[in-house]
Amino acid sequence: MVSPENPFQYRLRVRYSECDAQSVVFNARYGDYVDLAINEYIRTLFGDYQRLLDRDLDIQVVSMTLNWQGPAHFDEVLCVDVTPGPLGNTSFNLALAFHEHSSGRPIARAEMTYVMIVPSRGGKTPVPEDLRVLLAAGAPGQMISHAGE
């Protein structure tokens, strides 16, 4: 299992257009940030996303919970730590913790639940064993940055 001290990390820089009239990141943008972090996490675990689709597999969000702890501002670098959570038969969970890069100040926490689907049939399917192993292990110590720092 992945240690919370050594999670997968995704970094992004807050753009001006992502801020609202209060000069903080607009709340709806966090859904985008979660999606960016998870896409990089899944790519790190499974390789090119197309490899999943080539197996007639995909993932769909069934639950997203977000809790804010503090504001993020224009030009700050945000770090998103991603750690694996419980694995079900057809589903898996991921925990995300957002913090400001230079200070470590907490920004938000998110919990995601995904279900594995077969796109050609349009229904859910058990998570294949090889993917279960990868999901359980996570990507400790891996980091992807789009922040340009």
- The answer, yes or no, to whether residue 3 has pLDDT greater than 80, is no
- Give the chain's mean pLDDT: 94
- Helix (H) or strand (E) holding 135, with range, is helix 129-137
Tokens coding 88 = 């079900």
* Domains assigned to the chain: 8-140 (3.10.129.10)
pLDDT of residue 43: 94
pLDDT of residue 48: 86
- pLDDT, tens digit, 9 for 90 and up, residues 35-93: 999 999 999 999 988 999 999 999 999 999 999 999 999 999 999 999 999 999 999 99
Q: Strands (DSSP E) along the chain, which ranges?
A: 8-13, 58-68, 77-87, 91-100, 106-118, 123-124, 143-145
- The answer, yes or no, to whether residue 2 has pLDDT greater than 70, is no
Question: Tokens 């995904």 — which residue?
Answer: 114
pLDDT of residue 1: 44
pLDDT of residue 4: 58
More confident residue, 78 or 6: 78
